[in-house]
């Protein structure tokens, strides 16, 4: 099928909500490590991994070997939870080993949206309260509850009702909603969670949900101390703390397996997806035992969650991250890349802010450094110029003006240099355009 035929079929038979990147969309056919190839045989350095989903590189040899062994031995593909299978509990055990202390019980899902549905259902069941507090600029998925918790008008639907959720201001230092400076603020954004609970709920909540770094929002990194202060506020109102680690998890931020631990917070529930399956449709939550056990006596299931192939891929991804020291590499390469990007910023004033940590790095583009007018068209152009340079990057933010970089955690220094060189050339092209 040629690309025009694919596009025509997409237009005719697929929902129009999923829009491909680029004026001439790319048709990717092959992948290995940090690289992907298109239908013409062109090779690209992939530093976005679909949507932040490739954590140990495309087609990691250890995963490929296990898939081949399973296929060659006619391993069962679909067991559901109705029959015994070692893959499901083995993955849950591994998740408990890498999760913060006290989180021991998992529910395996097929996506991040489903994981967050389950996280909220668990919190509501445990507390007996319906209200959930989310953040403006937050994103938690495309199903009913996560969409209600979404803090972006761009993703919401006018006809879609939202119930029992409320939103506090985002901890968005570059555009502080309280007009403060990052270095000298009093964490007014954390206080706003209290204000939101006091003014828009009964004073009791089921949970607060937030991403340690707001991914779709444009890699918005809250100020130091934010999560801890919010945690104490949430506890004082009887709520559970849910850390949505769909983008930040699996060691991407370079310090711990789950980014919330970087802040010294022990959440009640963590949700995950994307990088945990390294491209396989895998999601999960891990919760405190008493939270999970509050659902006892109720029937609740999904058909595919934790089936052998995807559970094996997630478990092997965890092994690879641990065995190959990839959290350390994310830290080291993340620092190296950030320094390189900060060097670029000196030559290209369109880069207003560089943020994030580990291998989750964002560049917010602005037309003017003082007024901070968003540079959305410029961000779209950078994506096109990067593609010309054979580099795949992502974009995000409420106004789609944030360039997002999330390479595999095993990216090498040489690949980081390649990435920086390609980014430089893309920004030079933008400056000339």
| Binding residues for ligand PLP (CB under 6 A) | 51, 111-113, 116, 139-142, 211, 215-216, 244, 246-247, 273, 283
Choice between 33 and 362, CB closer to ligand PLP:
362
Q: How far is the CB of 251 from ligand PLP (least distance, A)?
A: 16
Choice between 252 and 422, CB closer to ligand PLP:
252
Strand 269-272, strand 240-244: pairing = parallel
Q: How far is the CB of 124 from ligand PLP (least distance, A)?
A: 18
Q: Following DSSP, what letter does each residue of 360-385 receive, concatenated?
A: EEEEEEBS-TTT--B-HHHHHHHHHH
Measured torsion, CA atoms of residues 310, 314, 315, 318, in degrees rounded to the nearest 10: 170
Choice between 402 and 416, CB closer to ligand PLP:
402
Q: How far is the CB of 113 from ligand PLP (least distance, A)?
A: 3
CA 55/CA 314 separation, integer angstroms: 10
Distances from the Cα of 397 to the Cαs of 27, 77, 98, 207, 228, in angstroms? 25, 38, 30, 25, 25
User: CB-hemisphere CA count at 13 Å for 378?
Assistant: 23
Q: How far is the CB of 109 from ligand PLP (least distance, A)?
A: 9
CA 178/CA 157 separation, integer angstroms: 28
Residue number of the CB closest to ligand PLP reads: 112
Q: How far is the CB of 233 from ligand PLP (least distance, A)?
A: 21
Q: Tokens for 358, please give them.
A: 């580990």
Choice between 270 and 365, CB closer to ligand PLP:
270
Choice between 112 and 251, CB closer to ligand PLP:
112
Q: How far is the CB of 421 from ligand PLP (least distance, A)?
A: 29
CA 211/CA 220 separation, integer angstroms: 9
- Return the residue matching tokens 């290995």: 32
Choice between 33 and 134, CB closer to ligand PLP:
134
Q: How far is the CB of 214 from ligand PLP (least distance, A)?
A: 8
| Beta-bridge partner residues of 364 | 353, 402
- Return the residue matching tokens 């895998």: 282
How many Cβ atoms from other residues are within 10 Å of residue 408's Cβ?
26
φ, ψ of residue 270 in degrees (nearest 5) = -120, 135
Q: How far is the CB of 111 from ligand PLP (least distance, A)?
A: 4
Choice between 129 and 244, CB closer to ligand PLP:
244
CA 31/CA 84 separation, integer angstroms: 33
| Beta-bridge partner residues of 36 | 31, 44
CA 165/CA 207 separation, integer angstroms: 10
CA 286/CA 149 separation, integer angstroms: 20
Q: How far is the CB of 300 from ligand PLP (least distance, A)?
A: 18
Q: Tokens for 270, please give them.
A: 């963590």
Choice between 261 and 389, CB closer to ligand PLP:
261
Strand, coil or helix: 202: coil
Choice between 218 and 283, CB closer to ligand PLP:
283
């Amino acid at each position: 099928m040629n690309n025009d035929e694919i596009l025509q079929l997409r237009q005719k038979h697929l929902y129009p909500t999923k829009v491909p990147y680029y004026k001439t969309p790319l048709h990717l056919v092959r992948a290995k490590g940090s690289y992907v190839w298109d239908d013409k045989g062109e090779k690209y350095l992939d530093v976005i991994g679909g949507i932040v989903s490739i954590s140990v590189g495309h087609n990691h040899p250890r995963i490929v070997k296990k898939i081949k062994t399973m296929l060659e031995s006619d391993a069962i593909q679909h067991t559901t939870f109705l029959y015994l299978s070692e893959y499901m509990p083995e993955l849950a055990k591994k998740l408990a080993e890498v999760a913060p202390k006290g989180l021991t019980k998992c529910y395996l899902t097929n996506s991040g949206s489903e994981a967050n549905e389950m996280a909220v259902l668990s919190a509501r069941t445990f507390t007996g309260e319906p209200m959930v507090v989310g953040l403006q600029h937050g994103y938690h998925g495309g199903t009913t509850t996560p969409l209600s918790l979404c803090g972006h008008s761009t993703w919401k639907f006018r006809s879609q009702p939202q119930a029992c959720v409320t939103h506090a201001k985002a901890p968005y230092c570059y555009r502080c909603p309280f007009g403060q400076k990052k270095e000298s603020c009093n964490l007014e954004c954390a206080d706003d969670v209290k204000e939101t609970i006091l003014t828009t709920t009964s004073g009791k909540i089921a949970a607060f949900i937030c991403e340690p770094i707001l991914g779709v929002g444009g890699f918005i990194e809250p100020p130091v101390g934010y999560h801890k202060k919010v945690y104490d506020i949430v506890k004082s109102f009887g709520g559970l703390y849910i850390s949505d680690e769909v983008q930040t998890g699996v060691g991407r931020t370079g310090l711990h397996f789950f980014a919330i631990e970087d802040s010294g917070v022990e959440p009640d529930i963590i949700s995950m997806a994307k990088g945990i399956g390294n491209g396989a449709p895998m999601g999960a939550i891990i919760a405190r035992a008493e939270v999970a056990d509050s659902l006892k006596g109720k029937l609740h299931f999904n058909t595919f969650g934790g089936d052998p192939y995807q559970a094996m891929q997630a478990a092997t991804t965890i092994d690879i991250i641990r065995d190959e020291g990839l959290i350390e590499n994310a830290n080291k390469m993340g620092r190296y890349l950030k320094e390189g990007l900060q060097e670029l910023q000196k030559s290209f004033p369109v880069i207003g802010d560089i943020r994030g940590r580990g291998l989750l790095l964002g560049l917010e583009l602005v037309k003017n450094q003082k007024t901070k007018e968003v540079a959305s068209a410029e961000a779209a152009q950078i994506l096109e110029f990067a593609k010309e340079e054979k580099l795949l990057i992502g974009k995000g933010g409420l106004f789609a003006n944030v360039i997002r970089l999330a390479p595999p955690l095993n990216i090498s220094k040489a690949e980081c240099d390649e990435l920086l060189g390609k980014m430089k050339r893309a920004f030079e092209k933008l400056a000339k355009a």
